[in-house]
Structure 1
Amino acid sequence: GSGVEPTAGNVLEPRDVPPEADDPPGSLPVRRTVAAPADRVWEVLADPARLQQWLPGARVHESEDGRHLVLGAQGAAGPTRVRVEVEPDDGPSCTVTIRQDVVDGPGRVVPRLARQGAVVVRSTLALRRLADLAEAPQRDLGSA
């Protein structure tokens, strides 16, 4: 072959993942009820330090209508597109849904069903971390 043009790569930071209008194709939703109001979850997601605690390497691509957030992140299998939806529940809780999938890199060669099995585990762990951050006492949110 003719080779590949040299690039800086993504050693120091993830490559940008272009936002798309729809959920990542074929992604499975993972949901969790968080014992905190939706505004509290958005506080965590809006804080850059907390966002990195929640999903290391995440970059916000778009936020729409106060309920959806689209992120790009670097996963073990390559650049990943993550869509987060926060829906208020009755009372002091909310439901958070995550859909994510690899959009480029070596993970794209893994069959979707196998890939989504691993992604569901990652989403479940990410939701647990997000819930822990959002459910922490208010005074702890601003401290590192």
Structure 2
Amino acid sequence: MSTVTQLFKTPAADVWKVIEDGWLYSGWVVGASRIRAVDGTWPQLGAKLHHSVGSWPFLIDDSTSVTGVETGRKLELLARGWPMGEAKIVITLEDLGGRECRVSIAEDAVRGPGKVVPKVLRDPVIGVRNRETLKRLELMAAGGAGR
């Protein structure tokens, strides 16, 4: 899996508040254009976000589901964007005390055409996207989103 890690000048609890508000997902996840619906149990195991990816008018409606969760520490997702395929994503928060935490996103294609792209080509693209995703997540958490 392609993994990107960033030190945040924000407490892990504040970052988790952004993650646990599914309606904020399109604000920090690069590629997610809008959220159409969020299961009331988000981010519990099995819950789904119904989102669109792409740019108008070329939008794909699909969903992301929670495949594992450790509240406040870890969220495992299966993101769908057919016909492009599916990706496994693992977001991990490590509380460093005070006002800092370390956040990692690991991601890789698991089904569909994206899986056919050689790993040596897909990892750098995923990495660039997820570096920007982490920047957006930190800004939203520092700005008080999700509170």
TM-score, normalised by the number of residues in structure 2: 0.69
Aligned: 1:108 with 2:115: yes
Select the structure that is richer in strand: 2
* CA deviation after TM superposition for structure 1 residue 59, in Å: 3.3
Give the Cα–Cα distance (whole angstroms) in 1 for the partners of residues 131 and 81 of structure 2.
14
Cα pair 2:8 2:102 within 8 Å, conserved: yes
* CA deviation after TM superposition for structure 1 residue 104, in Å: 0.8
Q: How many correspondences in the alignment? A: 114
- Give 3-state SS (helix, strand or coil) of 2:111's partner: coil
Note the 1:1-144 alignment, pairs <5 A. 27-55=1-29, 56=32, 57=51, 58-64=64-70, 66-74=72-80, 77-136=84-143, 138=144, 140-141=145-146
CA RMSD of aligned residues (A): 1.9
Structure with greater Cα Rg: 1
Cα pair 2:95 2:102 within 8 Å, conserved: yes
TM-score, normalised by the number of residues in structure 1: 0.70
Give the Cα–Cα distance (whole angstroms) in 1 for the partners of residues 16 and 142 of structure 2.
12
* CA deviation after TM superposition for structure 1 residue 128, in Å: 1.0
Taking only the aligned residue pairs, the percentage that are identical comes to: 32
Cα pair 2:90 2:107 within 8 Å, conserved: yes
* CA deviation after TM superposition for structure 1 residue 103, in Å: 0.8
Cα pair 2:13 2:72 within 8 Å, conserved: no
* CA deviation after TM superposition for structure 1 residue 64, in Å: 2.1
Partner of 1:16: none
